[in-house]
Structure 1
Amino acid sequence: MKPLLLLLTIGFLLTAGCSTLSGTLAIISEPEDAAVYLDGEYRGNTPCMVREVQAGNHTLELRHERYPAWRTDLEMGMGEEVEVVADLAENLVPEVTFSCEGPGTYAQGETVSITGYAVTGEGTVSLSVEQLDGERPFAPQSYLLPVDDEYLFEYRLPTDLMPGGRYRLSARLGTGEVENQTLTVLTEGEVNIAVVREIARTYHQTHTYSNADFFVCADMAMDVWNMIETKGIEAKIAVGDVHQRGEAIHEADHAWVLAETSPGEWTAVETTGGFLASDDENYYEGWFFETPRDFKEYIDLSKQYNAEVDKALDLEYRYNRMADTYNERLSKLNSIIDTYNARYAERPLSLEENRDAERMEGRISEQQVELAEMKGQVEQLSREFDAVERGMEEIQAQMMRLVEEIDNL
């Protein structure tokens, strides 16, 4: 119960409009325009004078849409004039709460919608923003927000100038009550990393890397490249060997994706495993392609190169076998010639020896013809092998025109 301020007045005049009884009751409130109920009966709005109030005990209640009901008991004497002054804010129980629309994590530049409830007689609430952590400093900010007649307040907090990190938002009343919330602001790079990570994860859930095959992982890399580019993030298709460094491009056995998550910063995406390989330096050595079209042309050339490699291996095998056979037969022929020279050269021969010498000369001539043919075949295989090697070099040159080393990113 509130104490009464009783004043005896002479000729007291306030706003008319209340009915008259025996005594006079004057009511003033802060703020004004509170509904006046005397013993449960509406008698007007403050400031108000109620006349001819019957002598005795009464209950006075003031009602205002922004404040709890204010009540007091009073005693009225005959012919008495009583003044009641009520501070409606005295009955308030200060309280403040608020929330931020969304999950609590926001991209830098995004606007955070804040709505709150503040029971206060002051009509305002102070909202402050303080950085908890982050790579770049941020000066604390404070905003004085109006509270409406239903104790509601709102604010749209811009994050353009808020560096990435965690922040504490505090809504504070003049009476000391405070409510805190924490939110996180993500930089463009952090947002893009989250987007790329989610793409890799969801793609992996629906695609299985069943074969350790370059052309399978190449198809997967092109799929993920397209998904990342669709999100407005620049991406490149990379090839190389993630298990060892320094391999030549034609020895590349794996494909993955590089995404530019922030200007000049690239993040490696292992498409066959569905994860980011940011900390693995092997994913940042190799070669990359600007578009899948270039990559597809590279793949076609790679298939041609592999076919040429198979052809070269076959020619090398055949050449080596033919050369071994040639050398073996040449050795035997030289042995026969040595025998011939030892038996028949530079001396008179008998008739029988002359016939034997002629037969041996025939054998030598036949084998010389065979060896000459065989030598021609060996030389032909050598020329074919050289031609294949030149073709491989040309294919390699075409492949290199399509790619750029990752070091040049």
Structure 2
Amino acid sequence: MADKTAPVTIPQNPTPVPAQTTPAAADSVPEPAPPAIKKLDKMQIVELIAAAFHKTHTYTLAGDFVCLDMAIDVWNQLKTNGIDAKIMGGNIHENVTTWNFRHLARESNHAWVVAKLSPTEKVAIETTAGTVIKPGMENSSAYFKGIEFDTPAEIKRFDSLRKKANEVCRDASELIKDWNENFVGKQRRPEEIITKKSQIEQRKQDCENTQAGLEEFKSRAIFY
């Protein structure tokens, strides 16, 4: 008898393949908080600005009032950082307390900056050396006397008038000296005398007019 082939049975509900499970992520380690940034006080900001400016700028004595541009640059940086500041013009090598305003204006040959840290505290910045001068330091008083300016435009106008006044007043003095040496008591043609007198009077008037123009800054002068 032939062997019977066993029927193939197809299971109705095949055993499902176990689903692959994604392993749970391990708890991440929290990153440490960044260190708190210490806020600089105004004195530290002033010192940083003065030092950084000095590293990137070179001062030369060539030219008149060259330090003005440097003072303006530092003034701008202080104002940008929220520090009230004034540009000062004057003469730090002389005792200006004995001068009147015209003398101070004529002999002003330097510019620097004074920063106000609080209603009762201020420091000066010698921009040509990158140093901060505090009240009480040796020779510090000279930096708190002079002519005070609120903006670069003001001190630039003052400097322009100062240069013109010095020029025309010097010319007037030279004309008067020439008159005393070469005209007084000497024979001169009448037309020469008239011309020379006219030149002297014109230059004296120019000198007086430019000096008067500087008077608008008289109230800004600090002598004590």
Q: Do they fold alike, i.e. is TM over 0.5?
A: yes
Q: Which has the larger radius of gyration?
A: 1
Superposed, 1:171-210 pairs within 5 Å as 191-210=41-60
Whole-angstrom CA distance in 1 between matches of 2:172 and 2:130? 38
Instruction: Name which of structure 1's ranges 249-258 and 312-321 shifts more when overlaid on structure 2.
Output: 312-321
Decide which of 200, 208, 215 is 1:390's aligned counterpart: 208
Superposed, 1:64-213 pairs within 5 Å as 101-102=35-36, 106-107=38-39, 191-211=41-61, 213=63
Task: Please report the TM-score for the alignment, with normalisation by the length of structure 2.
Answer: 0.70
Q: Whose helix fraction is larger, Structure 1's or Structure 2's?
A: 2
Residue 101 of structure 1: how far off its partner (Å): 3.8
Whole-angstrom CA distance in 1 between matches of 2:120 and 2:89? 20
**Pair 1:322–1:381, CA change in 2 (3 A):** farther
Residue 232 of structure 1: how far off its partner (Å): 0.2
Residue 387 of structure 1: how far off its partner (Å): 1.4
Look up the match of 1:380. Answer: 198
Decide which of 280, 283, 287 is 2:147's aligned counterpart: 287
Whole-angstrom CA distance in 2 between matches of 1:214 and 1:378? 31
Q: Whose strand fraction is larger, Structure 1's or Structure 2's?
A: 1
CA RMSD between the two structures:
2.6
- One-letter code of the match for 1:328? K
Decide which of 66, 74, 78 is 1:228's aligned counterpart: 78
Instruction: Name which of structure 1's ranges 376-385 and 252-261 shifts more when overlaid on structure 2.
Output: 376-385
Look up the match of 2:161. Answer: 301
Are residues 1:262 and 2:118 paired? yes
- One-letter code of the match for 2:209? G
| DSSP 3-state at the match of 2:93 | coil
The Cα offsets for residues 233-255 of structure 1, whole Å up to 9 and x where unpaired, read as 00000011111121512211110
Identity %: 31
Decide which of 173, 186, 190 is 1:328's aligned counterpart: 186
Whole-angstrom CA distance in 2 between matches of 1:225 and 1:292? 9
- Gap runs ≥5 in structure 1: 1-99, 108-185, 330-369
| DSSP 3-state at the match of 1:209 | coil
| DSSP 3-state at the match of 1:287 | strand
Q: How many residues align?
A: 181
Whole-angstrom CA distance in 2 between matches of 1:282 and 1:319? 39
Decide which of 62, 77, 87 is 1:237's aligned counterpart: 87
Are residues 1:404 and 2:216 paired? no
The Cα offsets for residues 126-151 of structure 1, whole Å up to 9 and x where unpaired, read as xxxxxxxxxxxxxxxxxxxxxxxxxx
